[in-house]
Amino acid sequence: MNKYIPSTSKWVADQVELYEASGGTEGTTLRGLPVILVTNTGWKTGATRKTPLMKVTDGNRYILIASQGGAPKHPLWYHNLKADSKVEIRDGVNVYPMVAKEINNTNERSRLWKLAVEAFPPYQEYQNKTERTIPVFLAE
């Protein structure tokens, strides 16, 4: 395993630390909704990176939304997944090795986006406030 570099965002680093230190029993929600931890490899550093994301599922697959709150640029983890699609998803106490791929097929992306907005309605507000199309990944 490569060296872990915590997020420069304090709340993200704190949430990851709480989630992992508790073995997935604490830090598992954000705004009262469930979150997962996505572990991947940094595309520039080669270091291990960990990001809490809202939990959105499609059966036993996870939908990962690169919203960054509707910021004008994609989150850094977007570039990590484009460079190396292997991820580890921690969902509470369960950990799954998976492969994440960006969904560009219009119908499939639309279906997954709808599931994401149902799970976390602010995603639609984020899309409305940015010029970019927010990327949708499917991890399985």
4 within a domain of the structure (yes/no): no
pLDDT mean over 15-20: 96
Count Cβ atoms below 10 Å from residue 40 Cβ, excluding itself: 21
pLDDT mean over 3-31: 95
Which pTM value belongs to this model?
A: 0.95
- Residue 32, domain extent: 10-139
- Which tens digits make up the pLDDT trace of 40-79? 999 999 999 999 999 999 999 999 999 999 999 999 999 9
84 within a domain of the structure (yes/no): yes
Q: Taking 70 as the threshold, does the pLDDT of residue 1 lie above it? A: no
Average per-residue pLDDT in the chain? Answer: 96
Q: Give the CATH number, domain containing residue 77.
A: 2.30.110.10
Q: Taking 80 as the threshold, does the pLDDT of residue 140 lie above it? A: yes
61 within a domain of the structure (yes/no): yes
131 within a domain of the structure (yes/no): yes
15 within a domain of the structure (yes/no): yes
Q: Supply the pLDDT for residue 31.
A: 87
pLDDT mean over 80-98: 98
Unique residue bearing structure tokens 């994440």: 100
Q: Taking 90 as the threshold, does the pLDDT of residue 2 lie above it? A: no
User: How many domains, in total, are found in the chain?
Assistant: 1
Residues 6+ apart with CB under 8 A from 95: 24, 88, 89
Q: CA 74 to CA 65: how far, in whole Å?
A: 10
3 within a domain of the structure (yes/no): no
pLDDT mean over 86-104: 98
pLDDT mean over 20-33: 94
